[in-house]
Structure 1
Amino acid sequence: MHTDLVAALDIGGTKIAGALVDGDGRILLRAQRPTPAREDGESVMRAVGAVLAQLTASPLWERASAVGIGSAGPVDASAGTVSPVNVPGWRDFPLVERVRMAVGGRPVTLVGDGVAMTAAEHWQGAARGYDNALCLVVSTGVGGGLVLDGRLHRGPTGNAGHIGHISVDLDGDVCPCGSRGCVERIASGPNIARRALDRGWRPGPDGDVTAAAVAAAARAGDPVAVASYRRAAQALAAGIAATATLVEIEIAVVGGGVAGAGDVLFAPLRHALDEYATLSFVRRLKVSPALTGTDAGLVGAAAAALLGGRPGASAYVG
């Protein structure tokens, strides 16, 4: 990749992060605000504007040639709009136009957060060197992206590989997207915690009811917490196996906050994959934790900006 700086935005249901990133993927400056996800669309945009204001105030900003955005989806990269399931105030919100206005007309590239994470992992992480990969973000929601034949596969609107809204339970709970039994409705962090609470798990004295607290309880042997993670792992395994069967991926890389549970998630995930990925050409499918960590969204958004939105371009070849 070339050495210009780019600005990157990572927009999710919990936080809006921004950074200035160089052509080697190094983050030189950071900014962050909580996502006012339950407020109106302009309130969310003001939070984005506050992050951008911190970036543009830096002397480094003059070296920034473009902006890359990785947003919770669905997104429509062709129209420049976003409609994140977990941010109801944004429906067909013209994010690219608004960001372009805020950054003085610099080019803006939009991809889904799962595609951004995939770009990061293919460039610098666990998917590097693999020609066919699925990368997942398991956090407030569940997103994903694909590398096919050595190239980042974004799809016409930037949503290809959005595994979170594959239905794996035909009679399951209604998902905010409108479908039933989606991977996200079972395996996202809030839904892991919801299921544990519904089945009798109770938090400790600190009152922490996050998926991380459920993971800690599972490590301590709490059977309800263990079962909640096992169910999440089954949903992820079913979605991964279906994707692998369809496009013959070699590796599934799992990142996001829920992946921080470690073996509490990965042990039942690998076990469940043995049950779901049964055809000969998917039995050797490898599952790995993501390596780019909490910076995956920013690094991947930067990769998208550095590539300038070129269709089919590889995430690590300039």
Structure 2
Amino acid sequence: MTALAIDIGGTKFAVALVHPDGTMTRRAELPVGPDPVATLASLVRDTAVADLTGVGIGSAGPIDSVAGTVSPVNIPSWRDFPLVDTVRELLAGLPGPRGVPVALAGDGQCMALGEWWRGGHGGSGSRVMLGIVVSTGVGGGLVLDGVPYLGPTGNAGHIGHISVDPRGEPCPCGAVGCLETVASGPSMVRWALANGWTCPAAHPDAKALAADAARGVLPAQRAFQRTADALASAILTTAALFDVDDVVIGGGVAAAGETLLAPLRQAVAKQAGLGFLRRLTVERTSLERDAGLYGAAALVLPSEERTPHRGT
């Protein structure tokens, strides 16, 4: 059995072949580029094999899992884009992989599911996991007893569009004060530049901001504290609704490690009230950039073939 896993992000697309034992092969990644469909076609053409079990897609949202469409906030040219049908058409043009099932879920949902399967949380007995992708945008997803909770449209757990500041900035989604307006990489950089940060690099980005925060540059540290406070508010709102055991953070901003996680854990501890909220743990993904690919594959690999990994 082999799954073709596709991870659609705001700035990059990734694909891989994934097997039920967790083996990943033929992994490839490309920037979205000016023509996202051409980028996707190139990756699928170079990665797909004849004996596919199915295709799992994790995409930045919002999505419509029933219609098979996506409208990633950070890919303006894709609005109600028929992603599932497009992938089917791409496969139809290749020798071999025709008529296989194609499943779609949010990228945050897939990150959470991949972490539960291959990151050790399923093997450690986690019942309810919240996964959060903090990158060009902010996405999320829930795994309940090893099963992704998608909701009727596939958007359950989309934590990036919980309002954390009713008087905050307008969000591209149309609402105001969403978590994404504070915690996404571009939002953090914009705020830092407007509040005294002078970036030493030619092109300011979240990586440069994290490096300066780690060096003790005050405006950069304040940007990460502001993000940590907003993330903690959204996490605890979700935890109060779903009685969450574990929170796993992935995405490019999470690559800052303890620069983000230390103030985030402190903010969660400070804001948590009820005892069941104080028990939740917050960790960075152990799978780095592969968590979403593992989760996408898990959408189409039979569950009885996927034994949760117990980690090391």
| Same-fold call, TM cutoff 0.5 | yes
Matched, 1:160 2:152: no
The CA distance in 2 between the partners of 1:25 and 1:208, in whole Å, is 37
The equivalent of 2:40 in structure 1 is 48
State the partner residue of 1:185: 181
> Residue 242 of structure 1 aligns with which residue?
237
Asked if 2 retains the 8 angstrom alpha-carbon contact of 1:123 and 1:315, the reply is no
User: Tell me, what secondary structure is at the counterpart of 2:290?
Assistant: helix
8 Å CA contact retained: 1:126, 1:288: no
- State the Cα distance separating 1:314 from its structure 2 match: 8.9
Determine which of 289, 292, 311 is the counterpart of 2:287: 292
Aligned length: 300
Counting aligned pairs with the same residue, the percent is: 49
Q: Does 1:23 align with 2:20?
A: yes
- Partner in structure 2 of residue 310 of structure 1: none
**Contact kept in structure 2, 1:152 and 1:314, CA below 8 Å:** no
Q: Which of 8, 26, 34 is equivalent to 1:11?
A: 8
TM-score, with length taken from structure 1? 0.90
Give, in whole Å, the separation in 1 of the partners of 2:21 and 2:82: 30
| Unaligned stretches of 5+ residues in structure 1 | 308-312
Note the aligned Cα RMSD (angstroms): 1.7
**Equivalent residue in structure 2 for 1:91, among 79, 84, 101:** 79
Aligned to 1:209: 204
Partner of 2:88: 100
Distance in 2 of aligned mates of 1:314 and 1:31: 27
TM-score by length of 2: 0.92
94, 110, 130: which one aligns with 2:104: 110
Distance (Å, rounded) in 2 between the aligned partners of 1:314 and 1:289: 27
Distance 1:279 1:75 in 2: 33
Residues of 2 paired with 1:283 and 1:30: CA distance? 38
CA distance, structure 1, for counterparts of residue 16 and residue 255 of structure 2? 22
Distance apart, 1:149 and its partner CA: 4.1
1:117-136 CA distance string (max 9 Å, x none)? 01101101153220111111
Structure 2 counterpart of 1:141: 137
